[in-house]
Amino acid sequence: MSTSPESAGSGGSSDAIIPRHVAIIMDGNNRWARGKGLPGPAGHRAGVEAVRGVLRACRQQGVEVLTLFAFSSENWGRPLPEVRTLLALLSRYLRSEVRQLHEDGVRLRFIGERGRFSAGLQRLMQQSEHLTAGNSAATLVIAVDYGGRWDITQAVQTLARQIEAGALQPEDIDPDLIERNLSASDLPLPDLCIRTGGDARISNFMLWQFAYSELYFTNTLWPDFGELEFARALSDYSRRERRFGLRTPDGLASAGDADA
């Protein structure tokens, strides 16, 4: 099995290929709650518990970065009570978990457009990042008010302002320069994207960064996605051959690699 050097981590079993960066679209909280005859907020609360288990599994397996799609740009369109619940849970998570994350050596990062959040929540996010900034055991990235189109747009706007100021020429813009201006440009690109809940789409999440990510879809609802389910996803990833658009040794282009 071949792989890119940057996709191998330091943990896991000796013959397993561990992704450095795993991104997760956490889907299925509401359906989980309905299936148990519970109100929607109960599903979101159970989803927070699942975060703890997956983060623990990442650290045990040697995954360096875990990115969670917690609140998308489109989520503002959900019913107001649900939006309030989601934001209240995020605030509660930061108040209750950041100290433990810091003690465990986990760096916390946020990506997304923060301006629409309350001043109190923005302050909590900033304080959490500041407290954990020097940690290096692992990185937890929480995507809030985030969308892949927004991410690319804000990168292009940054470059446009540099052109307007005369610091950059249009012909200087290439994919590498755009990538360096994305919101998580200091982190390795995601090796593996996991989506729970049964849908097989990426829903405007990290559109640029997923260009060569492996995709793993499971019917398991997010609150039920525990360490065993995560291990299955890593095992599936370990069996894949990542070609990054290159040719195989026999000279044949890999199926689906349109740019091979």
Residues classed as catalytic: 27, 75
Q: How many residues does the chain have?
A: 260
Alpha carbons 22 and 24: distance in angstroms, whole number: 7
Per-residue exposure over 218-231, b if at least 16 CB sit within 10 Å of its own CB, e if not = bebbbbbbeeebbe
| Beta carbons within 10 angstroms of residue 25's beta carbon | 24
Number of H helices, E strands in the chain: 7, 6
The Cα–Cα gap between 181 and 185 comes to 6
Angle (nearest 5°) at CA 122 between 120 and 123: 65
Calculate helix-pair angle for 40-61, 80-103, nearest 10 degrees.
30
- Helices (DSSP H) in the chain: which residue ranges? 29-35, 40-61, 80-103, 119-132, 148-164, 175-180, 227-238
How many CA within 13 A on the CB side of residue 189?
Answer: 18
